[in-house]
Amino acid sequence: MTTYQAFHRRSIDQRDEFWAEQARLIHWNKPAEQICDFSRPPFVKWFKGGETNLCYNAVDRHAAKRPDARALIYISTETGEETIYSYAELQREVERMAAIYQDLGVGKGDRVLIYMPMIPQACFAILACARIGAIHSVVFGGFAAGSLATRIDDARPKLMVSADAGMRNGKPVPYKHLVDEACKLAEFPPQKVLIVDRGLDKGFPRVAGRDVDYAEQRVKHLDAKVPVTWVESSEPSYILYTSGTTGKPKGVQRDTGGYCVALAASMQHIYTGGEGETMFTTSDIGWVVGHSYIIYAPLIAGMATIMYEGTPLRPDAGIWWSIVEKYKVSVMFSAPTAVRVLKKQDPAFLKKYDLSSLKHLFLAGEPLDQPTHEWIMGELGIPVIDNYWQTETGWPMLAAVRGVEKTPIKFGSPSFPVYGYDLRIFREDGSECGAGEKGIVGVVPPLPPGCLSTVWGQDERFVSTYFSLFTNPVVYSSSDWGIKDEQGYHTILGRMDDVINVAGHRLGTREIEEAVQGHNAIAEVAVVGVHDELKGQMPMAFAVVKDAGRIDSAEKRAALEKEVMKTVDDSLGAIARPARIHFISGLPKTRSGKMLRRSIQALAEGRDPGDLTTIDDPSTLDQIRAALAG
């Protein structure tokens, strides 16, 4: 048994002892009376009876010891701003925000909905909630008014915090009219809306008696001292709505103590980032990665965290690497989509800067294909670690845990089950798969600390959504297909609903995408299942080529399509061959880089592509329509 296998085994077999050790990484106002209470499965309470506070662990304890150390580094390539906050300065700003909250009637257990761009005040707003025991619900900035309204009605916030506008590609993205529209649509709108006026949307409307100006309030509370509110470990810290929700939103509810311990342990064992170092996570606070690895985990570990407003290509494709050099970033976290974008740029940008401070690059958010993994690791010359997790889990389920053992990296694989997760691959009848056999990724409960404790206000939905697929024994279903090899390395093959049934053969879109990308002309691809009268479904591919010259005539396009088809045939067999491969210059994605596969599929089947308010570049949909029209 390897060092890591023994470590993982102990986390399962000696659960209480293992997590009691990890709990020492954070500060407790009152120690836990019971490490794991699993008396009401599948619900679990971690560190029962213990009292702690996320803001204290992220800010106060470091401010007391290292007040002048860098805590928050704000960089906006949209506005040209760059500001560094020390731990002492961050604590002062968070206390000011907390005092504003209290002045507006927010207290322990109240919800605060945060609808913000990537600006420092968003960080203050989140941490201020944790400080006073309020529950934050962050909604991605720029989300459609209707979607925002449904989340308002589910969380019923006492206060909303927003801004006049965000910025994207040098242009303001107004927020305030969306806030006003959502408040009109909502049955339970917030009593107050706190607005950060960035001066980007001149003359935005203000609602008398409801809207409050942040700058004015901050001046009123400049000298405020707001003590932390200690909360019992199982009390909720936040609600985060899962993407792709239809009908009534599904709010993932996170606890306090378990989440704090899980994040602290992950920084030590997985991300290997420590006090005084700098972490750069290129996500958004509207997503779970932003919650866990922009706001909370780096600060809990005593690191400086970079909050970045901008794109990976503005002002040029070297911007991220220039930040790594300037701030001596040691841990970087991004998404496979972002790397594929950079793969299409001049590779000289990767060689232009001193990246010697960078220990690891972590990638998550979607499956990482082998060609992309191999390319970026070769270019950087450092370990690039794929890690797999979900909004629901809050931190990784599969990863190379190199803080425990430097296991070899296998391209395209997020490695092994993370400690605490009794993760297995299951057949649909609930039996366990053997090596090399595709099945459903599941976790035998109890779920480890940091995972969702329930669905906000809907315990029944928590059980029916996550624990009803397998009932003997009861298992948490990830709704993802996966496979494990003889060495124990896992690979994620895509969502269960991304499986294509071609004439009775089950094909994962991920497998076909990997095969298409096996052709050296392809930079990026999305494969969707399209209805077929004869075979049920057929795969259809939409591919971005590295060199537009390869497709500048109908003859060249046809020749390349034939070559790529052969690549798929050689890799997976003719059964997996796409019905068509359409060549386009960009794929539709959300502003956080998630591929809009369901929208692509809808267009391919002649259906309405649905809510596209989070799409980054609407012209990509027109390209797909044009390609489909021939």
Rounded Cα distance, 403 and 330, in Å: 14
Instruction: Tell me: pLDDT of 230 over 80.
Output: yes
The CA-atom distances, in angstroms, between 592 and each of 34, 52, 608, 615 are 39, 32, 22, 9
Question: Does residue 445 have a cis bond before it (omega within 30 degrees)?
Answer: no
Which of 456, 464, 268, 292 is closest to 364 using CA atoms?
292
Question: Of the candidates 71, 74, 119, which has an alpha carbon nearest to the alpha carbon of residue 278?
Answer: 71
- pTM tops 0.85, yes or no: yes
pLDDT in the model for residue 246? 41
Q: Residue 244's pLDDT is what? A: 40
pLDDT computed for residue 598 by the predictor:
83
Asked if residue 500 has pLDDT above 80, the reply is no
Q: Give the right CATH number for 503-628 from 3.40.430.10, 3.30.1130.10, 3.40.50.20, 3.30.300.30.
A: 3.30.300.30
Q: What is the pLDDT of residues 374-430, one digit of tens each?
A: 999 999 999 999 999 999 999 999 999 999 999 999 999 999 999 999 999 999 999
Please tell me the CATH code under which domain 3-480 is placed. Answer: 3.40.50.12780
Looking at residue 191, its pLDDT comes to 97
Q: Which are the contacts of 89, defined by CB distance < 8 A and separation ≥ 6?
A: 71
Sequence ranges of the domains in the chain: 3-480, 503-628
3-state secondary structure of 224: coil
Per residue in 513-567, pLDDT tens? 988 999 999 999 999 999 887 677 889 999 999 998 999 999 999 999 999 999 9
Mean pLDDT score of the chain: 93
pLDDT at 534: 67
Instruction: Evaluate whether 446 touches 36 at the Cβ level (below 8 Å).
Output: yes
Share of the chain above pLDDT 70, in %: 97
DSSP class of residue 397 equals: S
Question: Which pLDDT does position 144 carry in this prediction?
Answer: 79
The pairing of beta strand 165-168 with beta strand 171-174: antiparallel
Could you read off the pLDDT of 64-75 as tens digits, one per residue? 999 999 999 999
Q: 290 falls in which pLDDT band (50, 70, 90)?
A: very high
E strand spans, 146-265: 159-163, 165-168, 171-174, 192-196, 211-213, 231-232, 238-241, 251-254
The residues pairing with 173 across neighbouring beta strands, listed in sequence order, are: 166
Q: What is the pLDDT of residues 21-56, one digit of tens each?
A: 999 999 999 999 999 999 999 999 999 999 999 999
In contact, 492 and 480? CB cutoff 8 Å? yes
H/E stretch holding 215? helix 214-220
Rounded to an integer, the average pLDDT of 604-608 is: 90
Q: How confident is the model at residue 615 (pLDDT cuts 50, 70, 90)?
A: confident
Does the pLDDT value for residue 503 go beyond 90? no
pLDDT in tens, 450-493: 999 999 999 999 999 999 999 888 999 998 999 999 999 999 98
Q: Is the pLDDT of residue 506 over 70?
A: no
Residue 62 and residue 87 in contact, taking contact as beta carbons nearer than 8 Å: yes
Other CB atoms closer than 10 Å to residue 569's CB: what's the count?
A: 14
pLDDT tens, position by position, 235-279:
999 999 985 434 467 899 999 999 999 999 999 999 999 999 999
Residue 495 confidence (pLDDT) above 70: yes
